[in-house]
Amino acid sequence: MRYKITHGGYAGTFREIKQALNATVEKLVETVHGIMEATDTVGTAAAEISSGSHDLSQRTEQQASNLEETAASMEQITGAVKQNTDNANNAKNIASGANQIAMEGGQVADQAVSAMRDIETSSQKIADIIGVIDEIAFQTNLLALNAAVEAARAGEAGKGFAVVAQEVRSLAGRSASASKEIKALISDSVAQVKSGAELVNKAGETLRDIVGQVGKVNALMNDIAAASVEQSSGIEEINNAIAQMDSMTQQNAALVEENTAAAGSLVEQSKRLEEMMQFFKVGDGQARKAAPATHSTTMVVKKPVGARVAPPSAREQAPAKMPAAMKKQANGHADAEWKEF
């Protein structure tokens, strides 16, 4: 491909054949040059693609590893959130039970306050009755005293009546003394009942406050339980998303590995193509050499180094003259081949 027919001794059809052959060789040289340049470009691009694919593969593997660690951490968080949700539900149930017990205690306290008020009212009625008894005893004592005075006035005839009046007076005195003692006891009981009623009222108010606070705690626990359920649902969605991301990352890693293998194959094919193109000797006096592919993350395709070629011989430069008969026969064959060409 480095040589052209430069001898000027051709005329007619042979001259046209010579020009056509020289033009064909020039076009073929131009085509081979283009193929060699394209081979260099393809090799360089394939090396860069292979390097980029290798780096992308490493980053994808690192990302997949990070996603696996994240998924494991999210599983632990999910377990903790579920445990918190269960605890919140248990606390909610306990708070509901405490609220119910406190409400029942408040009702019992209200009933106790009502009973203490009834006892206080009954004690007051008993005190009033004792007061009436005391008044009756006092009146009986006065009547006995008057009867004794009248019996003394009657003399001997009133002695028996005087004894009866004395007994009635003594009985009235004992009744008055007993009624005073009962009245004192009733007064003490009424005072204690009032004190107990006040304490029960305070206890009832305290229980009502407890019921209110327990109700607030119950409402808060309901909110916490609902929030825990929502949080658990959100964590579950995050887990699903991470699982999908992990699956997609694994698929991407597989695709990157395939891409890396394809790029490596492209580099090898480019190398083989350059080795095959060494067969052609172009007119610049250089032979193409295949670039060795480096086994690293950055793959570089080296430019082929030219090899110096010996100059053509005189026989190649100037063909020997042919006899006339052979020349005529050759011209006939050339005309036939040119027409076929």
Q: Is 304 helix (H, G, I), strand (E, B) or coil?
A: coil
DSSP for residue 177:
H
The tokens for 321 are: 């003259």
Which H or E element spans position 21? helix 13-154
The tokens for 315 are: 């026989």
The tokens for 66 are: 């990070």
CA dist 85 → 71, 80, 200, 220 (Å): 20, 9, 40, 14
Per-residue pLDDT of the chain (341 residues; tens, 9 = 90+): 556 666 667 777 878 887 888 888 888 888 888 888 888 888 888 888 878 888 888 888 888 888 888 888 888 888 888 888 888 888 888 878 887 887 888 788 788 878 878 887 887 888 788 888 888 888 888 888 888 888 788 777 777 777 887 888 788 888 878 888 888 888 888 788 888 878 888 887 887 888 788 888 888 888 888 888 888 888 888 888 888 888 888 888 888 888 888 888 888 888 888 787 777 766 554 444 434 444 333 333 333 333 333 333 333 333 333 333 334 333 443 343 333 33
Distance of CA 282 to the CA centre of its chain: 66
CB 57 within 8 A of CB 257: yes
Amino acid at 204: G
Q: CA dihedral in degrees (15, 19, 25, 30; nearest 10)?
A: 170
- Main-chain phi, psi angles of 123, to 5 degrees: -65, -40
CB 289 within 8 A of CB 305: yes
Let me know if 5 is exposed, middle or buried by CB neighbors in 10 A (0-12, 13-18, 19+).
middle
The tokens for 36 are: 């060699």
Q: CA dihedral in degrees (94, 99, 100, 106; nearest 10)?
A: 150
Predicted pLDDT of residue 289: 43
Block residue for tokens 């918190």: 84
Q: Vertex 47, ends 42 and 49: CA angle to 5°? A: 90
Amino acid at 197: A
How far apart CA 247 and CA 263 sit, in angstroms, is 24
The tokens for 25 are: 């060789």
DSSP for residue 295:
-
DSSP for residue 12:
T
CA dist 320 → 96, 296, 316, 327 (Å): 120, 56, 9, 11
How far apart CA 236 and CA 243 sit, in angstroms, is 10
Architecture of domain 13-340: Orthogonal Bundle (1.10)
Tell me, yes or no, if the pTM score tops 0.85: no
Block residue for tokens 């006339």: 324
Domain limits, the chain = 13-340
Block residue for tokens 């360089």: 44
Predicted pLDDT of residue 319: 38
Q: Vertex 248, ends 246 and 46: CA angle to 5°? A: 120
How far apart CA 14 and CA 20 sit, in angstroms, is 10
Find the farthest-apart pair of alpha carbons in the chain and give their distance in angstroms, rounded.
215
- Main-chain phi, psi angles of 10, to 5 degrees: -100, 145
